[in-house]
Structure 1
Amino acid sequence: MTEPSENTRPATLGLLLAGGLARRMGGGDKPLRTIAGRTILAHVIERLAPQCDGLLINANGDPARFADYGLPVAGDSVPDFAGPLAGILAGLDWLAQNRPGVDWMVSVAADTPFIPHDLVARLHAARLAAGVPLACVASGGWTHPVIGLWPVSLREALRHALTVEDERKIDRWTARHGVASAEWAAEPVDPFFNANRPEDLAEAERLHVLLGTA
Protein backbone atom coordinates (compact mmCIF):
# COMPACT_ATOMS: atom_id res chain seq x y z
CA MET A 1 0.00 0.00 0.00
CA THR A 2 1.31 3.45 -0.90
CA GLU A 3 1.87 5.60 2.14
CA PRO A 4 0.02 8.95 2.22
CA SER A 5 2.23 11.91 1.44
CA GLU A 6 1.71 15.47 2.65
CA ASN A 7 -0.26 16.10 -0.53
CA THR A 8 -2.47 12.97 -0.45
CA ARG A 9 -3.25 12.46 3.25
CA PRO A 10 -6.71 13.47 4.52
CA ALA A 11 -7.11 16.95 5.98
CA THR A 12 -5.93 16.74 9.59
CA LEU A 13 -6.01 19.22 12.47
CA GLY A 14 -3.06 19.28 14.86
CA LEU A 15 -3.89 19.35 18.59
CA LEU A 16 -1.19 20.52 21.02
CA LEU A 17 -1.95 19.01 24.43
CA ALA A 18 -0.89 21.58 27.03
CA GLY A 19 -3.52 20.92 29.70
CA GLY A 20 -1.47 18.91 32.19
CA LEU A 21 -0.66 19.96 35.74
CA ALA A 22 3.14 19.58 35.31
CA ARG A 23 3.63 18.28 38.84
CA ARG A 24 7.06 16.77 38.09
CA MET A 25 8.18 20.08 36.59
CA GLY A 26 7.09 21.94 39.72
CA GLY A 27 3.87 23.30 38.23
CA GLY A 28 3.24 25.89 35.57
CA ASP A 29 3.17 25.37 31.82
CA LYS A 30 5.84 22.91 30.67
CA PRO A 31 5.48 23.91 27.01
CA LEU A 32 6.47 27.49 27.90
CA ARG A 33 9.85 26.41 29.29
CA THR A 34 12.69 27.15 26.89
CA ILE A 35 15.19 25.15 24.86
CA ALA A 36 17.87 26.98 22.89
CA GLY A 37 16.20 30.31 23.61
CA ARG A 38 12.74 29.32 22.36
CA THR A 39 9.79 27.78 24.14
CA ILE A 40 9.21 24.05 23.78
CA LEU A 41 5.82 24.91 22.33
CA ALA A 42 7.46 26.99 19.58
CA HIS A 43 9.63 24.02 18.62
CA VAL A 44 6.58 21.73 18.47
CA ILE A 45 4.60 24.21 16.37
CA GLU A 46 7.49 24.61 13.92
CA ARG A 47 7.60 20.85 13.31
CA LEU A 48 3.87 20.10 13.33
CA ALA A 49 2.35 23.07 11.47
CA PRO A 50 3.61 22.07 7.98
CA GLN A 51 1.99 18.63 8.41
CA CYS A 52 -1.47 19.86 9.41
CA ASP A 53 -4.46 21.85 8.22
CA GLY A 54 -4.39 24.20 11.20
CA LEU A 55 -3.37 23.87 14.85
CA LEU A 56 -5.28 24.05 18.13
CA ILE A 57 -3.99 24.28 21.70
CA ASN A 58 -5.72 22.35 24.47
CA ALA A 59 -5.13 24.11 27.78
CA ASN A 60 -7.13 24.98 30.88
CA GLY A 61 -7.13 28.29 32.72
CA ASP A 62 -6.52 31.69 31.14
CA PRO A 63 -5.88 31.22 27.40
CA ALA A 64 -4.19 34.63 27.22
CA ARG A 65 -0.86 33.08 28.22
CA PHE A 66 -0.73 31.49 24.75
CA ALA A 67 -1.74 34.66 22.89
CA ASP A 68 1.69 35.12 21.32
CA TYR A 69 1.20 31.99 19.21
CA GLY A 70 -1.95 33.21 17.46
CA LEU A 71 -3.70 29.85 17.78
CA PRO A 72 -7.16 29.01 19.11
CA VAL A 73 -7.26 27.50 22.61
CA ALA A 74 -9.85 24.96 23.78
CA GLY A 75 -10.23 23.93 27.42
CA ASP A 76 -11.49 20.61 28.72
CA SER A 77 -15.25 20.15 28.92
CA VAL A 78 -14.81 17.25 31.36
CA PRO A 79 -14.01 18.72 34.82
CA ASP A 80 -11.24 18.04 37.32
CA PHE A 81 -8.29 17.60 34.95
CA ALA A 82 -9.45 14.24 33.59
CA GLY A 83 -6.22 13.70 31.66
CA PRO A 84 -5.22 13.53 28.00
CA LEU A 85 -8.44 11.87 26.85
CA ALA A 86 -10.34 14.95 28.02
CA GLY A 87 -8.01 17.13 25.97
CA ILE A 88 -8.50 14.93 22.94
CA LEU A 89 -12.28 15.17 23.33
CA ALA A 90 -12.01 18.96 23.60
CA GLY A 91 -10.04 18.98 20.36
CA LEU A 92 -12.51 16.75 18.54
CA ASP A 93 -15.43 18.90 19.73
CA TRP A 94 -13.69 22.09 18.56
CA LEU A 95 -12.93 20.46 15.23
CA ALA A 96 -16.53 19.33 14.69
CA GLN A 97 -17.85 22.80 15.52
CA ASN A 98 -15.29 24.91 13.68
CA ARG A 99 -13.87 22.83 10.83
CA PRO A 100 -16.71 20.58 9.62
CA GLY A 101 -14.81 19.56 6.48
CA VAL A 102 -11.91 18.08 8.46
CA ASP A 103 -12.46 14.54 9.73
CA TRP A 104 -9.12 13.78 11.41
CA MET A 105 -7.05 15.14 14.26
CA VAL A 106 -3.52 14.32 15.38
CA SER A 107 -2.66 14.90 19.03
CA VAL A 108 0.84 15.78 20.21
CA ALA A 109 2.08 16.41 23.71
CA ALA A 110 3.15 20.05 23.74
CA ASP A 111 6.36 19.18 25.62
CA THR A 112 7.82 16.96 22.85
CA PRO A 113 10.16 19.30 20.93
CA PHE A 114 11.58 16.76 18.46
CA ILE A 115 8.48 15.23 16.86
CA PRO A 116 9.23 13.83 13.38
CA HIS A 117 8.45 15.71 10.20
CA ASP A 118 6.60 12.71 8.77
CA LEU A 119 4.42 12.12 11.84
CA VAL A 120 1.00 12.71 10.29
CA ALA A 121 1.64 10.88 7.02
CA ARG A 122 2.98 7.80 8.81
CA LEU A 123 0.11 7.68 11.29
CA HIS A 124 -2.39 7.74 8.43
CA ALA A 125 -0.40 5.04 6.63
CA ALA A 126 -0.38 2.86 9.75
CA ARG A 127 -4.14 3.00 10.31
CA LEU A 128 -4.86 2.39 6.62
CA ALA A 129 -2.52 -0.61 6.49
CA ALA A 130 -4.13 -2.11 9.62
CA GLY A 131 -7.69 -1.28 8.60
CA VAL A 132 -8.44 0.41 11.94
CA PRO A 133 -9.67 3.92 12.82
CA LEU A 134 -6.91 4.90 15.26
CA ALA A 135 -3.11 5.06 15.29
CA CYS A 136 -0.44 5.98 17.82
CA VAL A 137 3.35 6.20 17.79
CA ALA A 138 6.06 3.98 19.22
CA SER A 139 9.81 4.30 19.67
CA GLY A 140 12.44 2.18 21.34
CA GLY A 141 9.91 -0.55 22.00
CA TRP A 142 7.53 1.77 23.88
CA THR A 143 4.19 3.08 22.69
CA HIS A 144 3.23 6.71 23.28
CA PRO A 145 -0.58 6.72 23.15
CA VAL A 146 -0.90 10.49 23.73
CA ILE A 147 0.62 11.09 20.30
CA GLY A 148 -1.96 9.68 17.96
CA LEU A 149 -4.50 10.01 15.18
CA TRP A 150 -8.21 10.39 15.96
CA PRO A 151 -11.33 10.46 13.74
CA VAL A 152 -14.10 12.91 14.56
CA SER A 153 -16.54 10.02 14.08
CA LEU A 154 -15.51 8.54 17.45
CA ARG A 155 -15.97 11.67 19.55
CA GLU A 156 -19.35 10.65 21.02
CA ALA A 157 -17.98 7.21 21.93
CA LEU A 158 -15.09 8.99 23.66
CA ARG A 159 -17.46 11.35 25.48
CA HIS A 160 -19.46 8.38 26.78
CA ALA A 161 -16.31 6.64 27.99
CA LEU A 162 -15.14 9.74 29.84
CA THR A 163 -18.39 10.96 31.35
CA VAL A 164 -20.33 7.73 31.92
CA GLU A 165 -17.64 5.08 32.37
CA ASP A 166 -15.02 7.36 33.97
CA GLU A 167 -12.41 5.93 31.59
CA ARG A 168 -9.01 7.66 31.84
CA LYS A 169 -6.60 5.24 30.15
CA ILE A 170 -5.92 6.10 26.51
CA ASP A 171 -4.63 2.68 25.47
CA ARG A 172 -7.54 0.88 27.10
CA TRP A 173 -10.05 3.02 25.20
CA THR A 174 -8.24 2.85 21.84
CA ALA A 175 -7.97 -0.94 22.11
CA ARG A 176 -11.77 -1.15 21.97
CA HIS A 177 -11.92 0.45 18.56
CA GLY A 178 -8.70 -0.77 16.94
CA VAL A 179 -5.39 1.07 17.00
CA ALA A 180 -2.34 0.73 14.79
CA SER A 181 1.21 1.58 15.82
CA ALA A 182 3.75 3.54 13.77
CA GLU A 183 7.34 2.87 14.91
CA TRP A 184 10.30 5.24 14.90
CA ALA A 185 13.92 4.59 15.85
CA ALA A 186 14.93 5.98 19.24
CA GLU A 187 18.55 6.64 18.21
CA PRO A 188 20.39 8.95 17.99
CA VAL A 189 17.48 10.99 19.38
CA ASP A 190 14.09 9.68 20.42
CA PRO A 191 11.66 11.87 18.42
CA PHE A 192 9.14 11.54 21.24
CA PHE A 193 11.42 12.67 24.06
CA ASN A 194 9.40 14.85 26.42
CA ALA A 195 10.48 17.27 29.12
CA ASN A 196 8.77 16.16 32.32
CA ARG A 197 11.26 17.29 34.98
CA PRO A 198 13.62 20.25 35.36
CA GLU A 199 16.63 18.05 34.59
CA ASP A 200 15.01 17.05 31.29
CA LEU A 201 15.47 20.60 30.04
CA ALA A 202 19.26 20.21 30.14
CA GLU A 203 18.96 16.90 28.28
CA ALA A 204 16.73 18.58 25.70
CA GLU A 205 19.40 21.24 25.14
CA ARG A 206 21.97 18.47 24.54
CA LEU A 207 19.70 16.64 22.11
CA HIS A 208 18.94 19.89 20.28
CA VAL A 209 22.65 20.31 19.62
CA LEU A 210 23.00 16.65 18.64
CA LEU A 211 20.31 17.11 16.00
CA GLY A 212 22.32 19.96 14.55
CA THR A 213 19.57 22.49 15.02
CA ALA A 214 21.40 24.75 17.47
Structure 2
Amino acid sequence: MTTDRAAATPCVVLAGGLGRRMGGGDKPMREIGGRAILDHVVERLGPQCDGLLLNANGDPERFTRFGLPVVADTVAGYPGPLAGILAALEWTEQNRPGVEWVVSAAGDCPFLPRDLVARLQQARQAEGADLAVAASGGQAHPVIGLWKVALRDDLRRALVEEDVRKIDRWTARYRLAMVSWPSEPVDPFFNANTVDDLHEAERLAALVAD
Protein backbone atom coordinates (compact mmCIF):
# COMPACT_ATOMS: atom_id res chain seq x y z
CA MET A 1 0.00 0.00 0.00
CA THR A 2 2.80 2.37 0.90
CA THR A 3 6.50 2.34 1.70
CA ASP A 4 6.34 5.00 4.42
CA ARG A 5 6.63 3.17 7.74
CA ALA A 6 4.56 5.61 9.77
CA ALA A 7 1.78 5.75 7.16
CA ALA A 8 1.80 2.01 6.35
CA THR A 9 -1.39 0.26 7.43
CA PRO A 10 -1.26 -3.51 7.98
CA CYS A 11 -4.58 -5.25 8.49
CA VAL A 12 -5.72 -8.04 10.78
CA VAL A 13 -8.60 -10.35 9.95
CA LEU A 14 -10.30 -11.43 13.17
CA ALA A 15 -10.97 -15.11 12.60
CA GLY A 16 -10.94 -16.27 16.21
CA GLY A 17 -14.66 -16.46 16.94
CA LEU A 18 -16.12 -19.69 18.31
CA GLY A 19 -18.94 -19.87 15.72
CA ARG A 20 -21.49 -21.16 18.21
CA ARG A 21 -24.49 -20.06 16.13
CA MET A 22 -23.21 -22.18 13.24
CA GLY A 23 -22.59 -25.20 15.42
CA GLY A 24 -18.94 -24.38 16.10
CA GLY A 25 -15.90 -24.27 13.90
CA ASP A 26 -14.34 -21.49 11.86
CA LYS A 27 -16.99 -19.22 10.36
CA PRO A 28 -14.53 -17.70 7.87
CA MET A 29 -13.99 -21.14 6.35
CA ARG A 30 -17.68 -21.61 5.51
CA GLU A 31 -18.29 -21.23 1.78
CA ILE A 32 -20.13 -18.64 -0.27
CA GLY A 33 -20.22 -19.09 -4.02
CA GLY A 34 -17.92 -22.08 -3.77
CA ARG A 35 -15.20 -20.16 -1.94
CA ALA A 36 -14.44 -19.72 1.74
CA ILE A 37 -15.66 -16.46 3.23
CA LEU A 38 -12.04 -15.81 4.18
CA ASP A 39 -11.07 -15.95 0.50
CA HIS A 40 -13.50 -13.11 -0.17
CA VAL A 41 -12.20 -11.13 2.81
CA VAL A 42 -8.55 -11.51 1.79
CA GLU A 43 -9.31 -10.63 -1.82
CA ARG A 44 -11.08 -7.42 -0.86
CA LEU A 45 -8.87 -6.34 2.03
CA GLY A 46 -5.44 -7.44 0.87
CA PRO A 47 -4.86 -4.84 -1.86
CA GLN A 48 -5.66 -2.03 0.60
CA CYS A 49 -3.19 -3.11 3.27
CA ASP A 50 0.53 -3.06 3.83
CA GLY A 51 0.48 -6.69 4.89
CA LEU A 52 -2.29 -8.97 6.18
CA LEU A 53 -2.35 -11.20 9.24
CA LEU A 54 -4.95 -13.46 10.81
CA ASN A 55 -5.99 -13.53 14.42
CA ALA A 56 -7.10 -17.04 15.33
CA ASN A 57 -6.70 -19.47 18.20
CA GLY A 58 -5.99 -23.18 18.01
CA ASP A 59 -3.94 -24.94 15.34
CA PRO A 60 -2.71 -22.30 12.86
CA GLU A 61 -2.04 -24.92 10.19
CA ARG A 62 -5.69 -24.91 9.14
CA PHE A 63 -5.00 -21.52 7.54
CA THR A 64 -1.74 -22.55 5.85
CA ARG A 65 -3.02 -22.16 2.31
CA PHE A 66 -3.53 -18.42 2.82
CA GLY A 67 0.18 -17.89 3.43
CA LEU A 68 -0.44 -15.30 6.15
CA PRO A 69 0.96 -14.90 9.67
CA VAL A 70 -1.49 -16.32 12.25
CA VAL A 71 -1.47 -14.56 15.61
CA ALA A 72 -3.29 -16.05 18.60
CA ASP A 73 -4.87 -14.04 21.42
CA THR A 74 -2.37 -12.97 24.05
CA VAL A 75 -5.09 -12.76 26.72
CA ALA A 76 -6.52 -16.07 27.96
CA GLY A 77 -10.16 -17.07 28.06
CA TYR A 78 -11.37 -16.01 24.59
CA PRO A 79 -12.42 -12.51 25.71
CA GLY A 80 -13.61 -11.48 22.27
CA PRO A 81 -12.52 -9.22 19.42
CA LEU A 82 -10.66 -6.73 21.62
CA ALA A 83 -8.20 -9.52 22.39
CA GLY A 84 -7.65 -10.07 18.69
CA ILE A 85 -7.06 -6.38 18.14
CA LEU A 86 -4.61 -6.35 21.04
CA ALA A 87 -2.75 -9.35 19.60
CA ALA A 88 -2.44 -7.55 16.27
CA LEU A 89 -1.17 -4.34 17.87
CA GLU A 90 1.43 -6.23 19.90
CA TRP A 91 2.50 -8.28 16.87
CA THR A 92 2.87 -5.09 14.82
CA GLU A 93 4.99 -3.42 17.49
CA GLN A 94 7.31 -6.42 17.55
CA ASN A 95 7.44 -7.20 13.85
CA ARG A 96 6.75 -3.90 12.08
CA PRO A 97 8.61 -1.25 14.14
CA GLY A 98 7.61 2.27 13.23
CA VAL A 99 4.15 1.32 11.97
CA GLU A 100 1.57 3.38 13.85
CA TRP A 101 -1.83 2.04 12.74
CA VAL A 102 -3.57 -1.29 12.18
CA VAL A 103 -6.96 -1.88 10.56
CA SER A 104 -9.12 -4.75 11.80
CA ALA A 105 -11.91 -6.52 9.95
CA ALA A 106 -14.16 -9.42 10.80
CA GLY A 107 -13.37 -12.71 9.11
CA ASP A 108 -17.06 -13.35 8.35
CA CYS A 109 -17.69 -10.19 6.25
CA PRO A 110 -17.41 -11.22 2.59
CA PHE A 111 -18.41 -7.88 1.04
CA LEU A 112 -15.96 -5.44 2.66
CA PRO A 113 -15.60 -2.09 0.84
CA ARG A 114 -12.52 -1.68 -1.30
CA ASP A 115 -11.91 1.81 0.09
CA LEU A 116 -12.10 0.76 3.76
CA VAL A 117 -8.52 1.54 4.78
CA ALA A 118 -8.27 4.79 2.84
CA ARG A 119 -11.50 6.22 4.25
CA LEU A 120 -10.72 5.22 7.83
CA GLN A 121 -7.32 6.88 7.59
CA GLN A 122 -8.76 10.00 5.93
CA ALA A 123 -11.41 10.40 8.63
CA ARG A 124 -8.90 9.87 11.40
CA GLN A 125 -6.63 12.55 9.96
CA ALA A 126 -9.43 15.02 9.20
CA GLU A 127 -10.92 14.77 12.69
CA GLY A 128 -7.69 14.45 14.64
CA ALA A 129 -9.07 11.21 16.05
CA ASP A 130 -7.31 8.51 18.06
CA LEU A 131 -9.36 5.73 16.44
CA ALA A 132 -11.83 5.25 13.59
CA VAL A 133 -14.61 2.72 13.09
CA ALA A 134 -16.92 1.80 10.22
CA ALA A 135 -20.69 2.22 10.05
CA SER A 136 -23.53 1.50 7.61
CA GLY A 137 -27.28 1.94 7.69
CA GLY A 138 -27.03 4.00 10.86
CA GLN A 139 -25.25 1.21 12.74
CA ALA A 140 -21.65 1.22 13.93
CA HIS A 141 -19.46 -1.83 13.32
CA PRO A 142 -16.78 -1.38 15.99
CA VAL A 143 -14.94 -4.60 15.12
CA ILE A 144 -14.05 -2.98 11.80
CA GLY A 145 -11.78 -0.09 12.62
CA LEU A 146 -8.44 1.68 12.67
CA TRP A 147 -6.36 1.24 15.82
CA LYS A 148 -3.33 3.10 17.13
CA VAL A 149 -0.44 0.78 17.96
CA ALA A 150 0.64 3.13 20.76
CA LEU A 151 -2.59 2.33 22.65
CA ARG A 152 -1.73 -1.35 23.02
CA ASP A 153 -0.71 -1.09 26.69
CA ASP A 154 -3.89 0.82 27.51
CA LEU A 155 -5.93 -1.86 25.78
CA ARG A 156 -4.12 -4.64 27.65
CA ARG A 157 -4.85 -2.95 30.99
CA ALA A 158 -8.51 -2.57 30.04
CA LEU A 159 -8.80 -6.26 29.14
CA VAL A 160 -6.75 -7.78 31.95
CA GLU A 161 -7.25 -5.40 34.88
CA GLU A 162 -10.67 -3.89 34.15
CA ASP A 163 -12.33 -6.86 32.40
CA VAL A 164 -13.49 -4.65 29.52
CA ARG A 165 -15.02 -6.80 26.78
CA LYS A 166 -17.21 -4.51 24.69
CA ILE A 167 -15.34 -2.60 22.02
CA ASP A 168 -17.45 0.54 22.30
CA ARG A 169 -16.85 0.69 26.05
CA TRP A 170 -13.13 0.97 25.36
CA THR A 171 -13.33 3.26 22.34
CA ALA A 172 -15.50 5.69 24.34
CA ARG A 173 -12.33 6.73 26.16
CA TYR A 174 -10.82 8.22 23.00
CA ARG A 175 -11.59 10.63 20.20
CA LEU A 176 -13.37 8.41 17.69
CA ALA A 177 -14.09 9.04 14.01
CA MET A 178 -17.11 7.26 12.53
CA VAL A 179 -17.05 6.52 8.79
CA SER A 180 -20.29 5.53 7.09
CA TRP A 181 -20.93 3.51 3.92
CA PRO A 182 -24.29 3.02 2.16
CA SER A 183 -26.06 -0.22 3.03
CA GLU A 184 -27.81 -0.62 -0.32
CA PRO A 185 -27.91 -2.59 -2.54
CA VAL A 186 -25.61 -4.68 -0.30
CA ASP A 187 -24.37 -3.77 3.14
CA PRO A 188 -20.56 -4.01 2.87
CA PHE A 189 -20.43 -5.10 6.51
CA PHE A 190 -22.95 -7.91 6.23
CA ASN A 191 -21.62 -10.74 8.38
CA ALA A 192 -22.47 -14.42 8.27
CA ASN A 193 -23.28 -15.46 11.83
CA THR A 194 -25.85 -18.19 11.21
CA VAL A 195 -26.72 -20.80 8.61
CA ASP A 196 -29.55 -18.52 7.41
CA ASP A 197 -26.99 -15.74 6.96
CA LEU A 198 -24.99 -18.02 4.67
CA HIS A 199 -28.05 -18.49 2.47
CA GLU A 200 -28.60 -14.73 2.39
CA ALA A 201 -24.93 -14.18 1.55
CA GLU A 202 -25.29 -16.48 -1.45
CA ARG A 203 -28.14 -14.28 -2.69
CA LEU A 204 -26.24 -11.05 -2.06
CA ALA A 205 -23.09 -12.35 -3.73
CA ALA A 206 -24.92 -12.26 -7.04
CA LEU A 207 -25.30 -8.49 -6.61
CA VAL A 208 -21.64 -7.89 -5.83
CA ALA A 209 -18.80 -8.17 -8.28
CA ASP A 210 -15.80 -9.74 -6.57
Provide Cα deviations, 1:99-130, integer angstroms capped at 9, x if missing partner.
11321100000000000000000001111122
- Equivalent position amino acid for 1:190 in 2: D
Which residue does the alignment assign to 2:162? 165
Pairing 1:119-198 to 2, within 5 Å after superposition = 119-198=116-195
RMSD between superposed Cα atoms in Å: 1.3
Q: Percent same amino acid at aligned positions?
A: 64
What is the CA-CA distance between 1:175 and the residue it aligns to?
A: 1.1
Which residue does the alignment assign to 2:46? 49
Work out the CA distance in 1 between the residues paired with 2:134 and 2:49.
17
Which residue does the alignment assign to 1:66? 63
Which residue does the alignment assign to 2:101? 104
Please tell me whether the aligned partners of residues 15 and 107 of structure 2 are also in contact (alpha carbons under 8 angstroms): yes
TM-score, normalisation: structure 2: 0.96
Provide Cα deviations, 1:34-57, integer angstroms capped at 9, x if missing partner.
111110001000000110000010
Which residue does the alignment assign to 1:89? 86
Please tell me whether the aligned partners of residues 111 and 208 of structure 2 are also in contact (alpha carbons under 8 angstroms): no
Secondary structure at the aligned position of 1:91 is classed as helix
Show structure 2 runs of 5+ residues with no match: none
Q: Given the alignment, which residue of 26, 29, 53 partners 1:29?
A: 26
- Equivalent position amino acid for 2:37 in 1: I
Which residue does the alignment assign to 2:197? 200
Work out the CA distance in 2 between the residues paired with 1:103 and 1:40.
28
Pairing 1:8-27 to 2, within 5 Å after superposition = 10-27=7-24
Secondary structure at the aligned position of 1:28 is classed as coil
Secondary structure at the aligned position of 1:210 is classed as coil
Please tell me whether the aligned partners of residues 133 and 140 of structure 2 are also in contact (alpha carbons under 8 angstroms): yes
- Equivalent position amino acid for 1:136 in 2: V
Secondary structure at the aligned position of 2:83 is classed as helix
Moved beyond 3 Å, runs of 4+: 6-9
Provide Cα deviations, 1:164-206, integer angstroms capped at 9, x if missing partner.
1111110110110111100000000000000000111111111
What is the CA-CA distance between 1:212 and the residue it aligns to?
A: 3.9
Work out the CA distance in 2 between the residues paired with 1:10 and 1:111.
27
TM-score, normalisation: structure 1: 0.94
